[in-house]
A = this chain, B = another copy of it.
Amino acid sequence: MQNNNKSERVRSDEKIALLNDQVAGNGLISRRHLLGLSLAGAGGLVTSSVLAADAGLLTRPAWSMTPGRDPSEYGNPSSHAAQIKRLAPAPNAISPGTGASRTPLHLLQGTITPNSLHFERHHSGVPDIDPAQHRLVLHGMVRQPLEFSYEDLLAYPMVSRVHFLECSGNSGGNSSGASASDGSAGGIHGLLSCAEWTGVRLSTLLDEAGVAAGASWITATGADAASLGRSVPLDKALRDVIIALYQNGEPIRPEQGYPMRMFVPGWEGNVSVKWLTQIKVTDGPANFRDETSRYTELLPDGKSLQFTYPMGVKSVITSPSGQMTLTRHGLHEVTGLAWSGSGSIRRVEISADGGRTWADALIDADQRELALTRFRLPWLWEGAEAVLQSRATDSAGNVQPSRAAWVAQYSPANRYHFNGIQSWAVSAQGEVKNVYA
């Protein structure tokens, strides 16, 4: 149906105009071109099919000739989009249910992750919990211990907040240099998702129980077979932690802790204890297994950092990204996601020449606290080799480090809290690969 050569749709006079608007090396174009100018030029020119359409003579596809299916109770994606799924491993034969599935960031758009594609990380699989039988007990250093059923919690005042969630081990392959060179953005960075979470403030429940003098921490435990537990300082618990009951409007999914999850905004995902069944108010951390043997950062001198909760300022270009191939010369949109566990995203810069020159990307829509932020910038690619990078700065002034600067901070064995800059190499043939630039 395409009756033109798309690789020639950016005319030479347009190219000259575009290059006058270059804002950084190797083809990065002013972001004002995203604000209304039409420069993609990917559409095909048509003549005959338009005339036929106007005359009602166009051959109509089968789906236009007969009624489609009825409305339904719970919808599903098109069968033609079945390739858009989480990157899930083969079942774990040694430790059933243990493992992760990753959000296919490179196949998605916007900032909200649909519930069916939110990443998972389990330490003993997904329990099938009957909410009528589930209880949350709040005890320890309180005036009055309390027990809540699911129905009890539904009766409390709630808040709704859009927040990212990122596993502490996300992008870990890039810390060691172990990620496959053809890794996709989702394959490398997909332990990252974002949703609107709704639930009851933990402070509301703590206030009702009455926190005793001298209390300074809480510890939380899940009802999964791993009894996963984590400790959180009391000031954070009172500030913005919620007992999440809803995710993007509907009850949270089993993989995210149905019927209830302690959601800790901006902090490593493991702290947001799923299938929450106990909160104990204490005067110190519990030093659970997942805050001693794991989820600590090994330093060059052999010591470890513990309780390093907030996720670092970070960004990743999701398109073009690993496993993609640019099939035409001309304008492309460079787009991706940025986030920080210490506030909102203030700025995202993009480089097409491996970090020699940088240009500011356009931040699309909201710049919310502790939420994914979408960035975009036009890029004129005419077949030259390129290395695409993005660098985020957050509202606290933190700047995403280079991979080398990040690696220098830790022991080579550390794979937690990697937030170094991602480099995507684009070959002259348009193939995009993960590199350690």
Contacts and interface: CB of A to CB of B under 8 A. Distances in A.
Interface of A: 1-2, 33-34, 36-38, 40-47, 49-50, 53-54, 60-61, 63-81, 84-86, 88-89, 91-92, 95-101, 107-118, 120, 122, 124-135, 137-139, 144-149, 152-153, 155-162, 195-198, 201, 203-209, 223-225, 227, 245-246, 248-251, 253-255, 258-259, 277-278, 280, 328, 332-333, 335, 364-366, 368, 374, 376, 378
Contact of A127 (B63, B115, B328): B63
A184 B309 CA distance: 43
A81 B126 CA distance: 16
Given A152-B42, A158-B333, A365-B161, A91 B70 contact: yes
Contacts of A196: 110-112
Contacts of A224: 63-64, 68
A43 B139 CA distance: 12
Given A43-B146, A77-B254, A78-B254, 14 more contacts: A37-B207, A42-B148, A50-B145, A50-B147, A61-B129, A68-B126, A74-B77, A77-B253, A81-B251, A81-B258, A111-B196, A114-B250, A160-B374, A161-B365
A250 B117 contact: yes
Contacts of A72: 86, 88, 101, 120, 255
A365 to B, nearest CB: 5
Contact of A75 (B131, B157, B203, B255): B255
A114 B249 contact: yes
Contacts of A376: 157-158
A145 B45 contact: yes
A234 to B, nearest CB: 15
Contacts of A69: 97, 125-126, 128
Contacts of A159: 364-365
A70 B53 contact: no
A45 to B, nearest CB: 6
Residue among A64, A75, A280 facing the most chain B CB atoms (10 A cut-off): A75
Contacts of A114: 114-115, 248-250
Residue among A153, A156, A248 facing the most chain B CB atoms (10 A cut-off): A248
A250 B207 contact: no
Number of identical protomers = 2
A365 B370 CA distance: 14
Contact of A1 (B44, B138, B149): B149
A368 B157 CA distance: 22
A334 to B, nearest CB: 10
A255 B37 CA distance: 31
A223 B61 contact: yes
A225 B137 contact: no
A130 B74 contact: no
A374 B148 CA distance: 25
Given A158-B376, A161-B365, A53 B139 contact: yes
A70 B45 contact: no
A15 B169 CA distance: 49
Contact of A366 (B63, B125, B366): B366
A201 B376 CA distance: 14
Given A45-B147, A333-B158, A225 B120 contact: no
A146 B44 contact: yes
Contacts of A364: 159-160
A249 B192 CA distance: 13
Contacts of A61: 129, 133-134, 223
Contacts of A77: 74, 115, 250-251, 253-254
Contacts of A153: 42
Nearest to A90: B70
A146 B46 contact: yes
A80 B368 CA distance: 33
Contact of A157 (B54, B95, B378): B378
B42 A333 contact: no
Nearest to A127: B63
A85 B73 contact: yes
